[in-house]
Amino acid sequence: MTAETMTMTTAEAAIHPLWVRVCHWINAVAILVMIGSGWQIYDASPLFRFEFPRAIALGNWLGGALLWHFAAMWVLVVNGLVYLTLGFATGRFRRKLLPIYPSQVFVDAKAALTFNLAHDDLSRYNAVQKLLYTGVILCGALIVLSGLAIWKPVQFQELTALFGGYDVARYVHFFAMSAIVGFLMVHVVLALLVPKSLRAMIAGR
């Protein structure tokens, strides 16, 4: 076996280790439950002049939505902490997500919009992927913190004050959710356009 072949084999095996795949799918289920139940909670006290259709909301009523939301919240937080801990401890975040150069983001975004972005090597993220994945991790942290500020505004009054108060925290929570929904839409479309990336998240290579 040549050195090149050994390198390719190692890269294939290391695309998505087991802990990444397990955390990914647990997170996918938890975040979908939280979004659906969150929309039902939003409908009980809308921030804007629209409501989410009941067909895409989860819980049927405020009490049911809160039960789903809090149940998924604990799954998301515990799973997220495991993912972040292993991501930093193994150096995966440093290898996969850094560095991010604005000039390269522009080049890769232009290539993506013109359907000229290559996906030959799934073990390496392009600049747009690095930016999106880093952004959604930060949005995840923001949505958890703003959620705590909304859930326990008295117990976490310093955190609530940091967001500018309860009402502002609700807006932050809403827009963080919207950003995550936008990411998920792009993520799913790309997975359908590049099906081998979906297979890699299932099989690891």
**Quick one: 68 and 26 in the same domain?**
yes
Same domain, 193 and 123: yes
Q: Is residue 65 part of a domain?
A: yes
Q: Indicate the DSSP class of residue 204.
A: -
State the pLDDT at residue 115.
Answer: 75
Is 136 in the same domain as 202?
Answer: yes
Give the pLDDT confidence of 58-109 residue by residue, as tens digits. 999 999 999 999 999 999 999 999 999 999 999 999 999 999 999 999 998 8
pLDDT for 14 equals 56
User: Residue 111: inside a domain, yes or no?
Assistant: no
Pair (76, 137) in one structural domain: no
Question: Which structural domain, as residue segments, surrounds residue 56?
Answer: 17-90
In degrees and rounded to multiples of 5, residue 51 shows phi and psi of: -130, 155
Residue 7, in any domain of the structure: no
147 and 202: one domain? yes
Same domain, 199 and 123: yes
Residue 113 has pLDDT above 50, yes or no: yes
Same-domain pairing of 133 and 195: yes
Whether the predicted pLDDT of 21 surpasses 90? yes
Q: Specify if 3 maps to a domain.
A: no
pTM of the model: 0.86
Q: What does the block give as tokens for 129?
A: 């992927």
Q: Is residue 180 part of a domain?
A: yes
Q: Could you tell me which of 1, 3, 20 has the C-alpha nearest to residue 205?
A: 20
User: Both 83 and 131 in a single domain?
Assistant: no
Residue that finishes a domain, picked among 51, 70, 90: 90
- How many alpha carbons fall within 13 Å on the CB side of residue 111? 14
Q: Is 182 among the domain residues?
A: yes
Question: Do residues 162 and 86 both lie within one domain?
Answer: no
Number of compact structural domains in the chain: 2
Among 44, 73, 90, where does a domain finish?
Answer: 90
Q: 190 and 145: one domain?
A: yes
Q: Is 96 a domain residue?
A: no
Q: Are residues 125 and 190 in the same domain?
A: yes
- Pick from 130, 142, 135, 132: nearest CA to 171: 142
- For residue 39, is pLDDT > 60? yes
Q: Are residues 25 and 85 in the same domain?
A: yes
Boundary of a domain, candidates 40, 75, 90? 90
Q: How confident is residue 7, by pLDDT bands cut at 50, 70 and 90? A: very low
Confidence of residue 121 (pLDDT cuts 50, 70, 90): confident
- Residue 108 falls within a domain, yes or no? no
CA distance 11 to 174: 39
- Nearest-10 crossing angle of helices 195-203, 18-44: 110
CA 40 to chain centre: 20
pLDDT tops 60 at residue 12: no
